[in-house]
């Protein structure tokens, strides 16, 4: 009888102790999306394409581990819905026509919007 009364009290004290202990620690979370973390310069966000630099050599397409992520026919496009952000295309482009931005909020309601084309 006494044991069934003491046990919940003990757990309650343990819980309050945990709240109290962590209440004074430095916060590790941010009030996203109002506050955002400063990103490292190596962060791999949305890829940008500089049409003027591109010589359509096809190296990016060859080093991409995905078969149909980068298309270079008459127009250049990258399907970000397939991209795994490995960085192969960016690192191997001889003309620096591709680079990573820090843009990471890429949720869309239509996958077509994730196809990065020459004119967007
Ligand atoms: S590797 Fe660079 S220059 Fe070559 S096709 Fe791709 S983006 Fe264009
Ligand atoms: S980052 Fe990797 S997966 Fe994405 S387009 Fe470039 S090579 Fe392909």
Q: Where are the beta strands (DSSP E) in 10-89?
A: 47-49, 70-72, 76-79
pLDDT at residue 120 is higher than 60: no
Q: What is the mean pLDDT of residues 10-22?
A: 92
Please give the class, per CATH, of domain 47-117.
alpha beta
| 1 pLDDT above the threshold of 80 | no
Question: pLDDT tens for residues 48-101?
Answer: 999 999 999 999 999 999 999 999 988 999 999 999 999 999 999 999 999 999
**Mean pLDDT score of the chain, rounded to an integer?**
92
Q: Locate the domains of the chain by residue range.
A: 47-117
The pLDDT of residue 15: 94
**Cα–Cα distance list, 106 to 47, 95, 102 (Å):** 11, 26, 11
Q: What percent of the chain has pLDDT over 90?
A: 78
Q: Which of 64, 67, 101 to mutate to test the pocket of ligand 2 (most atoms within 8 A of CB)?
A: 64
For residue 112, what pLDDT is reported?
Answer: 93
Residue nearest atom 5 in ligand 2 by C-alpha distance: 83
CA of 36 to the centre of ligand 2 (A): 25
Report d(CA 67, CA 95) in Å as an integer. Answer: 22
Ligand 1 midpoint to CA 72 (Å):
9
Please give the helix or strand (H or E) that residue 116 lies within, else none. Answer: strand 115-117
- Residue 78 CB less than 6 A away from ligand 1: no
For residues 34 and 44, give the distance between their C-alpha atoms in angstroms, rounded to a whole number: 21
Instruction: Please name every residue paired with 77 in a beta bridge, in sequence order, or none if there are none.
Output: 71, 117
Q: Is 95 in the pocket of ligand 1 (CB under 6 A)?
A: yes
């Amino acid at each position: 009888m006494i044991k069934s009364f003491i046990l919940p009290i003990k757990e309650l004290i343990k819980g309050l102790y945990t709240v109290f202990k962590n209440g004074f620690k430095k916060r590790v979370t941010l009030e996203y999306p109002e506050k955002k973390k400063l990103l490292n310069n190596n962060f791999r966000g949305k890829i940008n394409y500089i049409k003027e630099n591109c010589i359509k050599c096809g190296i990016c397409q060859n080093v991409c581990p995905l078969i149909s992520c980068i298309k270079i026919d008459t127009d250049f496009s990258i399907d970000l819905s397939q991209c795994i952000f490995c960085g192969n295309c960016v690192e191997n482009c001889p003309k620096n026509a591709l680079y990573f931005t820090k843009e990471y909020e890429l949720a869309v309601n239509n996958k077509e919007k994730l196809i990065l084309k020459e004119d967007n």
